C-alpha cells in the first residue's frame, strides 16, 4: 500500500500554550498502516460477534411479515433506537414518546429534538458508507448539528478543545485532543485507514471509532458522529445492510468499560476497544431480536382484531404507525397517499382495535399514539440501560 506499518496506537504529546501556562496536546499515532495481530481468543470473539450481526441483519428482511406498502418499518424503528442510544452515551436522553413527537414535528423537550437530529445524521450514513471521505463525514456532522452554531456544523473545530475537567483551561482535563492545525493530517491518516480492505470489518470499525474519538475533530457532536462512522464502516463491508442495527445500545450495557477501552487505546493498547465492540455487537443483537419479537406480537394482535376489507388503507397504516408511533390524520394521509377522509377512517379503525390512542382531547390536529409500540421501544431502552 506504500504506507509504513505501525504497531501501536499510543498518542504522543507536544507542548502548547494555554493562556500564560504551557500544557500538552495529543499527537495521535498514525494508523493508516497499523498492523494489529489479535490474540486468538479476541479474534474468535470478533468473528463470533460479526457472524451474529450478519445473521440478525438477514433476519430483519423477513421480520414483521404481512405488512403491505413500501414502508420499511423495522429500518425506521431500529434507526431511531440506535440514534437514541448513541445520544444517551452523551447524556442526551429522550423517551420513545418524546422522540416520536419530535420526529412528527410536535413541540417537545429540547433533548428529543437533539435525538431527532441524530436520526437525521444516522440517515446520512449510507452516503458516508459509499464514500468514506471527508465530504461525506462533514455532511453527517452537518445533519447532526444543524442550527447549533457553536458546533460549526459540517466543519472541523478551529479552536483547541479538551474532554472533562470542568475548568476554563485544559490543565485538569481527562484528555486533550490534538491542536486544530494538526487535524487535516490526522484525518487524512484516518481516511487512509478506512480505505483499507485487509482489516476485519468489526476490528476496523472499533479502531476507526477510537481514533476518531482521539482526534476529536469537531467542536461538538464527536461521539454521535463517530458512531455514525461505525455503521458506515460495517455497511461498506457488507456486514450490515441497515444503518439501525443497535450497536450503540450494546455499548450502553457497559459504559465504564467503553470509556476505559478508549483510554487504553490512547495508551497504546487497542485490544480492549476491539473486545468492547465485539461484546456490544452481541448485546445489540440480543436486544434487537427481542424488540423485533415484541413488535411482531403487537402487530399480530392488531391484525387479528382488524376486520376491514383487504384493500382498505388501514392495512398499510399498520407499517406507518410501527415506524412512526405518533401520527396525525394529515400525516397519515400524506404518507399513504390517500384522502383525508380515508385517513380518518383508518385512524378510527386503528382506535377501535386499540392500536392508536389520542395524545390529548383537542379536536384540531389531534395527535394519535401507538402506545404498545412506544412501550416496546421503552423496554428496549431499559434493557440497554438507557433512561429517559
Helix (H), strand (E), coil (C) string for the chain: CCCCCECCCCCEEEEEEECCEEEEEEECCCCCCECCCCCHHHHHHHHHHHHHHHHHHHHHCCCCCCCCCCCCHHHHHHHHHHHHHHHHHCCCCCCHHHHHHHHHCCCCCHHHHHHHHHHHHHHCHHHHHHHCCHHHHHHHHHHHHCCCHHHCCCCCCCCCCCECCCCCCHHHCCECCCCHHHHHHHHHHHHHHHCCCCCCHHHHHHHHHHHHHHHCCCCCCHHHHHHHHHHHHHHHCCCCCCCCCCHHHHHHHHHHHHHHHHHHHHCCCCHHHHHHHHHHHHHHHHHHHHHHHHHHHHHHHHHHHCCCCCCCHHHHHHHHHHHCCEECHHHHHHHHCCCHHHHHHHHHHHHHCCCCEECCCCCCCCCEECHHHHHHHHHHHHHHCCCC
Structure confidence at residue 22 as a pLDDT band (50, 70, 90): very low
Please, which contacts does 289-294 make with residues 24 or more away whose CB atoms are closer than 8 Å?
289/56, 289/59, 290/380, 290/383, 291/77, 291/78, 291/81, 291/246, 291/376, 291/377, 291/379, 291/380, 292/59, 292/60, 292/63, 292/64, 292/74, 294/376, 294/379, 294/380
The strand order across the sheet containing 326-327 reads: 326-327, 368-369, 357-358
Q: Which three cell numbers stand for residue 61?
A: 428482511
Around Cβ 91, how many Cβ atoms within 10 Å? 8
Q: Is pLDDT above 70 for 62?
A: yes
For the segment 6-29, the average pLDDT, to the nearest whole number, is 78
Average pLDDT over residues 186-201: 96
Spell out the long-range contacts of 131-135 with Cβ–Cβ below 8 A and sequence spacing 24 or more: 132/191, 132/194, 132/195, 132/232, 132/233, 132/236, 133/191, 134/187, 134/191
Start and end residues for every CATH 1.10.10.10 domain found in the chain: 290-376
pTM above 0.85, yes or no: no
For residues 61-70, give the mean pLDDT: 63
Q: Assess contact for 89 and 248: CB atoms under 8 A.
A: yes
Report yes or no: 240 and 57 within 8 Å, Cβ to Cβ.
yes
pLDDT in the model for residue 234: 92
pLDDT of 170 above 80: no
Q: Which of 92-106, 320-334, 343-357 has the highest mean pLDDT?
A: 343-357
Q: Are 279 and 49 in contact (CB under 8 A)?
A: yes
Lowest mean pLDDT among 101-115, 192-206, 328-342: 101-115
Is the pLDDT at 5 greater than 80? The verdict is: no
Domain 290-376 fold is Arc Repressor Mutant, subunit A (1.10.10)
Q: Please report the pLDDT score of residue 64 as a whole number.
A: 72
Q: Which three cell numbers stand for residue 28?
A: 495521535
Pair 112, 98: CB distance under 8 Å:
yes
Spell out the CATH class of 12-289. mainly alpha
Mean pLDDT of 148-166: 86
19-33, 257-271, 300-314: least confident range:
19-33
Tens digit of each residue's pLDDT (9 = 90 or more) over 286-325:
988 998 899 999 999 999 999 999 889 999 999 899 988 9
Confidence grade of residue 70 (pLDDT, cut at 50, 70, 90): very low
Contacts of 178 (CB under 8 A, 6+ apart): 25, 26, 27, 28, 186, 215, 216
What is the pLDDT of the chain when averaged over all its residues? 85
Cell of 210: 477510537
Q: Which of 328, 377, 384, 383 is nearest to 95 (CA)?
A: 377
User: If we measure between CA atoms, which residue out of 124, 129, 151, 152 comes closest to residue 139?
Assistant: 124
Mean pLDDT within 367-382 = 91
What was the pLDDT predicted at 167? 60
Of residues 219 and 173, more confidence is placed in 219
Residues of the chain with CATH 1.10.3290.10: 12-289
285 pLDDT more than 60: yes
Among 79-88, 106-115, 341-350, top mean pLDDT goes to: 341-350
pLDDT at residue number 7: 81
- Top pLDDT among 350 and 109 is at 350
- Give the torsion sign (CA, 122, 123, 124, 126): positive
At 334 the pLDDT is: 93
Instruction: Supply φ then ψ for residue 19, to 5 degrees.
Output: 55, -110
Percent of the chain with pLDDT over 90: 50
Amino acid at each position: 500500500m506504500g504506507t509504513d506499518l505501525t504497531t501501536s496506537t499510543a498518542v504522543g504529546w507536544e507542548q502548547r500554550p494555554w493562556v500564560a501556562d504551557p500544557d500538552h496536546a495529543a499527537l495521535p499515532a498514525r494508523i493508516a498502516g497499523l498492523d494489529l495481530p489479535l490474540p486468538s481468543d479476541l479474534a474468535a470473539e470478533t468473528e463470533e460477534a460479526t457472524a451474529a450481526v450478519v445473521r440478525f441483519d438477514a433476519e430483519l428482511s423477513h421480520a414483521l411479515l404481512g405488512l403491505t406498502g413500501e414502508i420499511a418499518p423495522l429500518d425506521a424503528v431500529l434507526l431511531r433506537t440506535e440514534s437514541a442510544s448513541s445520544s444517551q452515551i452523551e447524556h442526551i436522553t429522550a423517551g420513545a414518546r418524546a422522540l416520536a413527537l419530535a420526529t412528527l414535528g410536535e413541540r417537545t423537550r429540547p433533548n428529543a429534538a437533539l435525538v431527532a437530529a441524530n436520526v437525521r445524521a444516522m440517515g446520512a450514513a449510507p452516503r458516508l458508507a459509499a464514500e468514506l471521505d471527508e465530504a461525506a463525514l462533514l455532511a453527517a456532522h452537518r445533519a447532526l448539528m444543524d442550527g447549533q452554531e457553536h458546533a460549526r456544523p459540517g466543519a472541523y473545530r478551529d479552536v483547541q478543545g479538551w474532554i472533562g475537567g470542568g475548568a476554563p483551561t485544559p490543565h485538569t482535563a481527562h484528555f486533550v485532543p490534538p491542536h486544530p492545525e494538526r487535524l487535516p493530517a490526522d484525518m487524512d491518516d484516518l481516511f487512509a485507514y478506512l480505505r483499507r480492505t485487509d482489516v476485519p470489518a468489526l476490528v476496523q470499525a472499533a479502531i476507526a471509532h477510537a481514533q476518531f474519538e482521539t482526534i476529536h475533530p469537531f467542536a461538538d457532536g464527536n461521539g454521535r458522529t463517530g458512531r455514525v462512522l461505525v455503521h458506515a464502516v460495517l455497511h461498506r463491508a457488507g456486514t450490515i445492510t441497515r444503518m439501525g442495527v443497535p450497536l450503540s445500545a450494546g455499548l450502553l450495557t457497559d459504559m465504564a468499560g467503553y470509556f476505559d477501552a478508549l483510554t487504553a487505546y490512547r495508551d497504546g493498547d487497542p485490544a480492549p476497544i476491539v473486545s468492547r465492540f465485539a461484546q456490544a455487537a452481541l448485546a445489540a443483537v440480543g436486544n434487537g431480536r427481542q424488540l423485533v419479537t415484541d413488535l411482531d406480537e403487537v402487530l399480530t394482535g392488531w391484525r387479528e382484531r382488524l376486520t376491514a376489507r383487504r384493500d382498505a388503507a388501514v392495512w398499510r397504516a399498520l407499517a406507518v404507525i410501527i415506524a412512526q408511533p405518533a401520527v396525525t390524520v394529515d400525516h397519515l394521509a400524506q404518507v399513504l397517499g390517500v384522502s383525508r377522509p380515508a385517513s380518518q377512517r383508518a385512524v378510527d379503525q386503528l382506535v377501535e382495535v386499540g392500536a392508536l390512542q389520542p395524545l390529548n382531547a383537542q379536536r384540531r390536529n389531534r395527535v394519535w399514539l401507538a402506545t404498545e409500540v412506544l412501550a416496546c421501544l421503552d423496554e428496549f431502552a431499559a434493557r440497554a440501560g438507557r433512561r429517559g
